[in-house]
Structure 1
Amino acid sequence: MARLPRLVVPGLPHHLIQRGHNRQPIVLDDEDRRQFLALLREAAINQRVALHAYVLMDNHLHLLATPETPEGLSRMMQSLGRRYVAAFNQRHGRSGTLWEGRFRAAPLEAERHLLACMRYIELNPQRAGWLMEPGSYAWSSGPHHLGHRRDPLITEHPLFWASGNTPFEREAAWRAWLEQGVSPEEQRALGDSALKGWPLGSAGFLQALAEGSERPVAPRQRGRPRKQV
């Protein structure tokens, strides 16, 4: 079966996942992490992509991003990959790719899933079994949203701003949101959507996407079509 083209819709948030080849590390130390995030910021600015949340784990990356153009996400990730992999290989005396194929991504209906996806991303270290306070992982957007630092990578989404009238209210609301955790159903839906490339949203959201896209926006039901009575 042919691989579906990636569905990118300008103006909508997208959940991206990029994994290391064979689940191998894509960063080995803090210098790698700083360089990775600096190159990511530069690529996002150049390609007019707003980053709302991220987590850089040892062997994979999650992003929540809104592109201004259909090519923005791909060009951002191509630029990041080209420059970072060359620097990583030179620094660590290796050759070849770091990535497990192309990055995975899918658009989300913001009103239903944006905040949930932010939480899913920033709680990734806890799901990996790392013992730390929710949102405290330094190489993520969590400390920004909790008010511990100002992160130049982050463009706060209007839905995050709507969670409180002041920075203190937004930070407190986000802390409570993180402490609720991610349900198994939410985790499965967000992970499957990005990894399989299917948009995540209501029936009306999917219908609107289908009307503007030549590729399917949901998997076909298995089996024969039901007969009309």
Structure 2
Amino acid sequence: MSRKLRYAPIGIAQHVIQRGNNRQVCFCNDEDMLAYLEWLKQYADKYQVHIHAWVLMTNHVHLLCTPHSQSGVSKMMQSLGRSYVYYFNKRYKRSGTLWEGRFKSALVDSENYLFQLYKYIELNPVAAGMVNVAADYKWSSYKTNALGKASKLIKPHPNYLLLGKDLNSRLEGYRSLFGKPLSQSASHTIKTATESSLAIGSNRFLEQIEALTGQSFRIRNRGRPSSECG
């Protein structure tokens, strides 16, 4: 069976997951994570992809990003993957694949679901039991989006800028979003849609995407919400 073609329109946010093959470790230490982030910045700039949120876990990566060029996210992830695998294999004297096939992604309805994706990504270490609060985890965008830490990688989404008239009010508004945990249902929807290359959004958003593509982007069987991160 041929794999589903990606639909990645310019200007529509995407949630991206890249995992280590068979859940194997793909970051062994801080140096590995720094190397990955440097290439992420390089290729995001090259292919005109705006990174809004990110987290690096031991064996996978989450990104919230918006392409501003044709196939920008695919080109960015392919180049990033190749560069990092070459680095990782050379550093650890190994060979072969590192990533679990091609990356997973889902289109995101920014008007209704954008900030749920911010929370899902930056709360991943909390959901995994690695830290108690998002601010305690070093390798995510939380300290930039919530605390104002300078970043050359992050480009705020227009909706993020609407959280306040100035930086301090935006930071306060963003932190207030984390006052309540993300619901189990929302986490399940995000995870399921991303794994299946679908869309996360309102019925109106889904109808618009489906009208443009002639394909269904809906989760057909929600099943039971999962408490797992990933």
- 8 A Cα contact 1:5 1:215, kept in partner: no
CA spacing shift, 1:131–1:219, aligned 2, 3 Å: closer
Match for residue 188 of structure 1?
A: 188
The one-letter code of the counterpart of 2:70 is: P
Deviation at 1:214, TM superposition (A): 4.1
- Aligned with 1:212: secondary structure? helix
Shift of 1:208: 1.3
Cα shift readout 1:84-117 (whole Å, capped 9, x = no counterpart)? 1001110111111111111000111101111110
Residue 159 of structure 1 and its aligned partner are, at CA, apart by 0.9
TM-score between both structures, scaled by the size of structure 1: 0.92
CA distance in 2, matches of 1:41, 1:110: 23
The answer to whether the 8 Å contact 1:19/1:100 transfers is yes
1:24 equivalent to 2:24? Answer yes
Q: Within 5 Å, which residues of 2 pair with 1:137-148?
A: 137-148=137-148
Measure, in 2, the Cα distance between the counterparts of 1:168 and 1:20: 37
Contact 2:13-2:65 within 8 A present in 1 as well: yes
1:148 offset after TM fit, Å? 4.6
Residue 174 (structure 1) aligns with: 174
Q: 1:54 corresponds to which residue?
A: 54
Shift of 1:220: 6.1
* Counterpart position of 2:128: 128
List gaps (5 residues or longer) in structure 2: 222-230
Question: TM-score, with normalisation over the residues of structure 2?
Answer: 0.91
Shift of 1:66: 0.3
SS at match of 1:180: coil
Partner amino acid, structure 1, of 2:53: A
Larger radius of gyration: 1
- Give the aligned residue type for 1:40: L
* Partner residue in 2 for 1:225: none
After TM superposition, list the pairs within 5 Å mapping 1:90-169 onto structure 2: 90-169=90-169
Letter in 1 for 2:113: H
Report the alpha carbon displacement of residue 71 of structure 1 after superposing the two structures with TM.
1.0
Q: Between the two proteins, what is the percent identity of the paired residues? A: 38
Supply the distance in 1 between the matched residues of 2:131 and 2:137 (Cα, whole angstroms). Answer: 10
What stretches of structure 1 move > 2 A for 4+ residues in a row? 131-136, 214-221
Which 5+ residue runs of structure 1 have no aligned equivalent? Answer: 222-229
